Amino acid sequence: MKPHKSKFSAAVAAFILAAFGFAATAFTSIAPQGLFEVTKHLEIFISVFEGVHTYYVDEPEPGSLMRVGIDAMLESLDPYTVYYPESRIEDLRFMNTGEYGGIGTMISQVDGKTTIMEVYEDYPAHKVGLRAGDVVVEVDGQGIANGLTNEEVSSFLKGQSGTTAQIVIERPGIDTPMQFAVERAQVRVKAVPFAGTLNDTTGYIFLSKFTRGSAQEVRDALVTLRDSSKIKQLVLDLRNNGGGLLRESISIVNLFVPKGEDVVYTRGKDPSKDKTYSCLNEPIAKDMPLIVLINENSASASEIVAGSLQDLDRAVVLGTESFGKGLVQQTKDMAFNTRLKVTISKYYTPSGRCIQRLDYGGKRDDTGHAVARADSLVSAFTTRSGRPVTDGRGILPDSPTELPYMSSFVEHLYADEHIFKYAVSWGVHHDSIADPLEFALSQEDLQGFLAHLEAENFTYDSEMNEIVDVLSDIAEYEGVGTVVSEELQALRSALALDHAAQLELHGEEIRSALEEEIVLHYHFADGMLAYSLKHDPLVDRALEVFGAEADALLAAP
């Protein structure tokens, strides 16, 4: 016990020095009473940690114990305040830069097997011939057992540029495993995977994230469209863009609004660190008509761009209400090469509104989750021309647009990976496909999808059937089960659509989903996005809005 105690005490001593060293530098602005509370609770935490390690019946692992404690502590705050141990620093770098050392694939678990879901064009995996649908069974002699997480397998595939990964895969349609020697490289996932034209006068740019250099990618795409394609107006698509770096969002707004214009300001605990961020350069598209597309997954930096352009009456915003994240994080260096990404402030758009939806510092619901701000606390603001906007609810589009929802049947097809799996099996018999804008599945292909569902024993139990089951239980409880049993059974029969009936009912939706996935496998992300524009009602709506309707939407009330 003595050597173990002494080793642990040394570790605790190191932790105390680190913790109180941090307190000395980070808590200088706290009043003496507040500082006492911080140091008191640090000391309590350390004493409990030491007590558990010394007296607990089993042998707890210090690192694991501390990680659980840190994660539980941060979980009581907001989901954006996150601790990164040294082993996950590379993940943090990828979030900020979009870069990592690896082979250029996205993997996931399909039927319990580590499967390549997407291959990035012109990166090592693509160059050696790896494909979507390949199952990874071995990396550098390490067998990839079922049950390993994506993070664990990714750690095998990632590595320093120039090193070689020996990868063994199983490929559908090939009886024997295949081996590839893949030289790792610096992989940078594009922030702008697609830019093109919608017609002779309208450009389109899809921005997927706000990593370092994303504003330059948008600028380059815009200049190319303006100079080569002679566009006169632009659609900037921020749907499903979860945000990223604050400064990149400001630089993107600056492409469209004048130098010196205030874009966003931040307010935090320490007033001396409050900041106002303004445009620093002359815009390159100051007068170009602009429409911004958002949805419920557009968050953070996406909302800064959409909200600022809306407040300045510089763009029409279309789509659905955005996520509502008005919090700003910074990354701080911690002891032993660890990092803490911590929420330091809230941001406000030019009208003065903060679009943060959930109140993480307020009351929680019965499950412990933060709740949305009450309607009574939502305040009204106005854009530069006097148009009404509100805080606390994300960014609301300027014009309501009825958009089709994905059917429950297709949701289940995606969730069970049948769209992906059929695209892989279809690819076994097709070496190439037509141009993305011309590609279409035949009726025979769609019948093949039905056969695939039958072979996979796919079952679909709709929510309506679940409701009937509930009604049946209630009927039994109330003693009328036998009275209504025939009616309930008839209702079940009416709702029991077979796969063929579902295909007829949701045919176009299923066709589009399959075609989009197949195009992704052959023509990568840019081809898939080019294809999807043909079937995008919000893009069609944007083309209708340009002109007189846009002018009316942006005009003073």
Domain parsing of the chain, residue ranges: 2-76, 99-188, 194-329+343-401, 404-557
Both tokens of 285, joined, read 């598209």
Mean pLDDT of 170-181: 96
DSSP state of 397: P
| Torsion from C-alpha of 537, 540, 542, 546, nearest 10 degrees | -160
Main-chain phi, psi angles of 534, to 5 degrees: -70, -20
| Residue 310 CB burial class (10 angstroms; 0-12, 13-18, ≥19) | buried
Mean pLDDT of 159-168: 94
pTM of the model: 0.88
- pLDDT tens-digit readout, 50-105: 898 889 898 888 888 888 888 988 988 999 999 998 888 888 888 888 888 999 99
Measuring CA to CA, which residue among 217, 398, 211, 376 is closest to residue 292?
398
Supply the pLDDT for residue 469.
84
- pLDDT tens-digit readout, 434-472: 899 999 999 999 999 999 999 999 988 777 778 888 888
Q: Which fold has domain 99-188?
A: Pdz3 Domain (2.30.42)
Both tokens of 54, joined, read 């010394």
How far, in Å, are 56, 241, 322, 347 from residue 395 at the CA level?
Answer: 51, 14, 5, 13
pLDDT band at residue 9 using 50, 70 and 90 as cut-offs: very low
CB proximity list for 130: less than 8 A, separation 6 or greater: 103, 105, 116, 119, 167, 169, 180, 182
Catalytic residue numbers?
Answer: 300, 311, 325
* 14 three-state secondary structure: helix
Measuring CA to CA, which residue among 56, 118, 115 is closest to residue 524?
118
More confident residue, 286 or 26: 286
- Whether residue 324 is predicted with pLDDT greater than 60 in this model: the reply is yes
CATH: 2.60.120.560, 3.90.226.10, 3.20.20.70, 3.20.20.100. Which one for 194-329+343-401? Answer: 3.90.226.10
CB proximity list for 443: less than 8 A, separation 6 or greater: none
- Whether residue 16 is predicted with pLDDT greater than 50 in this model: the reply is no
| Residue that the structure tokens 């921020």 belong to | 238
Please, where are the H alpha helices in 27-117? 32-55, 62-75, 89-97
Both tokens of 516, joined, read 């989009």
- Whether residue 425 is predicted with pLDDT greater than 70 in this model: the reply is yes
In this structure, are residues 355 and 326 in contact, taking their beta carbons and an 8 Å threshold?
yes
pLDDT band at residue 492 using 50, 70 and 90 as cut-offs: confident
DSSP state of 376: G
Distance between CA atoms of 235 and 202, rounded to whole angstroms? Answer: 7
Lowest mean pLDDT segment, chosen from 44-48, 391-395, 492-496, 507-511: 492-496
Mean pLDDT of the chain: 89
